[in-house]
Amino acid sequence: MSKAQETVLEIDLGALTHNFNYLKSKLKRETKFLAVVKAFAYGSDSVSVAKHLQDLDVDYFAVAYTNEGVVLRDAGITKPILVLHPLPSSFETIIERCLEPSLYNSKVLNEFIEVASAKQQRNYPVHIKFNTGLNRLGFWQTDVDYVVSKLKATSSVVAKSVFSHLAASEDLEEKDFTLNQIETFKNIASNFEKQIGYKPWLHICNTSGVVNFSNAHFDMIRCGIGLYGFGNSAKEDENLKPIASLKSVISQIHKIEPNESVGYNRAYKSHGYQKTATIPIGHADGISRIYGNEKGFVFVNDKKAPIIGNVCMDMIMVNITDIDCKEGDEVIVFDSNKKAANLAESAQTISYEIITSISQRVKRLIIK
Ligand SMILES: *Cc1c(COP(=O)(O)O)cnc(C)c1O
């Protein structure tokens, strides 16, 4: 692969195929695979990722918000798309663009039925979300009667699935809590089926649920982070390949004297004769100010170069005193060896935040 000559996020579709096949190998043949491609496919590129997964015959997609689904439809994605967190102001668009809403409280349920009826829909597919302990979105277990009565009173919509979301599937110390969520979900589902008289699909597992709770895959699973190459554990990270590599280049090298300062607010003071490199990537690109002052680092010719001083909007300065390098050399923020997880750890955050933070200013380069 040619070396980066500017800041670029490379997206490796081969790695995506690998991750998809690996996660699929954890499922029974009949279990459906929903790919979560919200937030630009976790900061990568939602259109190229979704097209590739559609070619691999994934069953379903999910996004968080309606406008994310519209982008996929405009790009020619024809598979069903679940919108996890739609707001009533977008319900007309949902129907016009054949997107499928998650309905999570009585306000959105009633307003969606109203819009679907006004648009003369019959059996429009919707997904009913129940809260089983995350306490974020969803009807309560005690709402089943109410939801079913609303659904039975209309022919405009049909419950294609009933689902919930796990709060701590990656944390085996919370195993009892997760098993309890799964039990609650089963009770909700059987009550729902009994009352409505048909069997909607059931789903509760995210990536860590797929890996850790194989008895809870039900009819479909919803994978996000695993597709992008992170498994929320050292063991699963081994089986997955990060699809995104963030690369840049040294634009200038400075030689500084003892006691000179570097960057805004003079936050860094040199300890002796030192060499610094300026890199064209800053907090506007997703390198949070948290990484400044030696909390974060990049790799220059395979050696770790700590970020010194404050992260600027468009640049960082790194310490290359002991690194043999020159202007124009490639810089790696993360790739499949030098993982975003390392950076996440040093900044006390999680891989999800690092990869979704890479801003749209950074050019995406799709590698087939
Ligand atoms: C984001 C999201 C997922 C995907 O979770 P991962 O841990 O990334 O696999 C699944 N379900 C819901 C409801 C989500 O919001």
Which CATH number do you get for residue 130?
A: 3.20.20.10
How far are the Cα atoms of 288, 289, 344 from residue 303, in angstroms, in the given order? 21, 22, 18
If DSSP codes are grouped into helix, strand and coil, which group holds residue 111?
A: helix
Please give the Cα distance from 179 to 355 (Å, whole number): 29
Q: Containing domain of residue 171, as a range?
A: 31-228
Task: Please state the domain count of the chain.
Answer: 2
Residue 360: Cβ-neighbour burial (10 angstroms; 0-12, 13-18, 19+): exposed
Does residue 17 form part of some domain?
no
Residue 9 lies in a domain: no
Q: Which of 130, 67, 68 is nearest to 102 (CA)?
A: 130
Residues 290 and 264 in one domain: yes
- Asked if residue 233 belongs to a domain, the reply is no
Distance 353 CA to ligand 1 centre (A): 13
The neighbour count for residue 234, using CB atoms within 10 Å, is 8
Question: Does one domain contain both 77 and 145?
Answer: yes
So what's the pLDDT on residue 315?
98
Select from 170, 202, 228 the last residue of a domain: 228
Is 204 in contact with 182 (CB distance < 8 Å)? yes
Ligand 1 within 6 A of 207 CB? yes
Domain boundary among 195, 228, 261: 228
pLDDT at 134: 98
User: H-helix or E-strand containing 334?
Assistant: strand 330-334
Indicate the residue among 197, 228, 259 that finishes a domain: 228
Residues 182 and 39 in one domain: yes
Pairing mode, if any, of strands 8-12 and 244-249?
antiparallel
The number of C-alpha atoms within 13 Å of 212 and in the hemisphere containing its C-beta is 25
User: Helix 144-152 vs helix 106-118: angle between axes, to the nearest 10 degrees?
Assistant: 10
Cβ count within 10 A of residue 133: 18
H or E segment and range at residue 275: strand 274-279
Closest residue (by CA) to atom 12 of ligand 1? Answer: 165
Measured CA to CA, the distance from residue 91 to residue 97 in angstroms comes to 10
- pLDDT score at 238: 93
239 belongs to a structural domain: no
Instruction: Please tell me whether residues 223 and 196 are part of one structural domain.
Output: yes
CA dist list (Å): 100 to 64, 70, 123, 263, 311: 11, 11, 12, 49, 41
Q: Whose alpha carbon is nearest atom 13 of ligand 1?
A: 165
CA distances from 84 to 4, 21, 47 (A): 36, 24, 18
Say if 238 falls within a structural domain. Answer: no
In three-state secondary structure terms, 248 is: strand
Q: Are residues 249 and 358 in the same domain?
A: yes
Question: What is the whole-number distance in angstroms between the Cα of residue 14 and the centre of ligand 1?
Answer: 22
Any idea what the CATH number is for the domain that residue 334 is in? 2.40.37.10
Mutate to test the pocket of ligand 1, among 206, 207, 353, 355 (most ligand atoms within 8 A of CB): 206
Phi-psi region of 163 (alpha: psi -120 to 50; beta: other; left: phi over 0): beta
- CB of 351 closer than 6 angstroms to any ligand 1 atom: no
**Given this model, what pLDDT does residue 357 score?**
94
Is there a single domain that holds both residue 100 and residue 179? Answer: yes
Classify residue 5: in a domain, yes or no: no
Considering the domain architecture, whether residues 204 and 276 belong to the same structural domain is answered as: no
Ligand 1 neighbourhood includes 127 CB (under 6 angstroms)? no
| pLDDT at residue 1 in the model | 64
Give the residue numbers annotated as catalytic, written as ranges. 38, 264
Asked if residue 282 belongs to a domain, the reply is yes
Per-position pLDDT tens, the chain of length 368: 689 999 999 999 999 999 999 999 999 999 999 999 999 999 999 999 999 999 999 999 999 999 999 999 999 999 999 999 999 999 999 999 999 999 999 999 999 999 999 999 999 999 999 999 999 999 999 999 999 999 999 999 999 999 999 999 999 999 999 999 999 999 999 999 999 999 999 999 999 999 999 999 999 999 999 999 999 999 999 999 999 999 999 999 999 999 999 999 999 999 899 999 999 999 999 999 999 999 999 999 999 999 999 999 999 999 999 999 999 999 999 998 877 777 777 777 888 988 999 999 999 999 99
In a domain, 330, yes or no: yes
